[in-house]
Amino acid sequence: MKQLGSFSDMPIRSAQTADLDAMMALTQDAFGDSAWSRRLMAEVLEAAIERPEQQLARIWEDPCGLAAPPPHPNPDRIAGYLIAQVIGRDAEIQSIAVWPGRQRQGVGTALLHDFMERARRKAWDRIFLEVRAGNEAAQKFYLRQGFEHYGRRPHYYHSPTEDACLMRMRAR
Ligand SMILES: CC(C)(COP(=O)(O)OP(=O)(O)OC[C@H]1O[C@@H](n2cnc3c(N)ncnc32)[C@H](O)[C@@H]1OP(=O)(O)O)[C@@H](O)C(=O)NCCC(=O)NCCS
């Protein structure tokens, strides 16, 4: 992995309503037909702004603005995002994506560490997530961060239909 600097230097911030276009461009590129709708992404962003204790949307800003390939204008210089929700004393990562041009450079790790640091501060118990069974890259990414597999949910995803692998880790 090419190092981007210490985590304290990372340009990570909370997403704002103005980030919606850039987040939609990234989520469509990453997840294709199974990407969240614009309406759902807008609702999640609104919830993250109004109820930050329950809903999180974090952005890794790209200082060079070069993350998104044409035709994406990437006006807001977003290299990656992480979206999560808090359920009681646990948290769930709902979506994470990094533009292909910025992958394998530590952006996903930085977003996850930013989130895990918050999990420790808030004394949450566990972090859960679901990932497509065929998405080996993401599973390797999560395993490297300390997540473990704990189950499988058949036919959970659509477009195309696929099982979900269930993963979790202790938050503290
Ligand atoms: C999964 C994802 C967020 C990882 O982000 P990233 O910024 O590329 O990850 P990092 O650079 O922090 O990678 C850290 C480590 O994870 C593992 N990893 C990441 N991508 C990998 C890949 N494509 N293949 C194998 N291992 C990978 C490696 O161990 C890597 O360390 P290394 O580069 O030193 O080998 C990114 O690949 C992505 O956006 N994928 C498309 C969307 C997606 O699948 N999201 C997850 C849905 S649940």
Each residue's pLDDT tens digit, 142-166: 999 999 999 999 999 998 999 999 9
* pTM attached to this predicted model: 0.92
CATH number of residue 137's parent domain: 3.40.630.30
Q: Angle 22-36-1 (CA atoms, 0-180°, nearest 5)?
A: 60
For helices 38-50 and 20-31, give the axis angle rounded to 10 degrees: 130
Rounded Cα distance between 119 and 155, Å, is: 30
Q: Is residue 29 part of a domain?
A: yes
Domain holding 147, by residue range, is 9-170
Q: Is 135 in the pocket of ligand 1 (CB under 6 A)?
A: yes
Model confidence over 45-88: pLDDT tens digits?
A: 999 999 999 999 999 987 666 666 666 655 457 899 999 999 99
Q: Within a domain: residue 4?
A: no
pLDDT reported for residue 47: 98
Q: How many domains does the chain have?
A: 1
Q: Indicate whether 125 belongs to any domain.
A: yes
Ligand 1 atom with least separation from CA of 105: 11
Conformation bin of residue 104: beta by default, left when phi > 0, alpha when psi is -120 to 50: left
Distance (Å, rounded) from C-alpha 41 to C-alpha 19? Answer: 10
107: Cβ below 6 Å to ligand 1? yes
Residue 3 lies in a domain: no
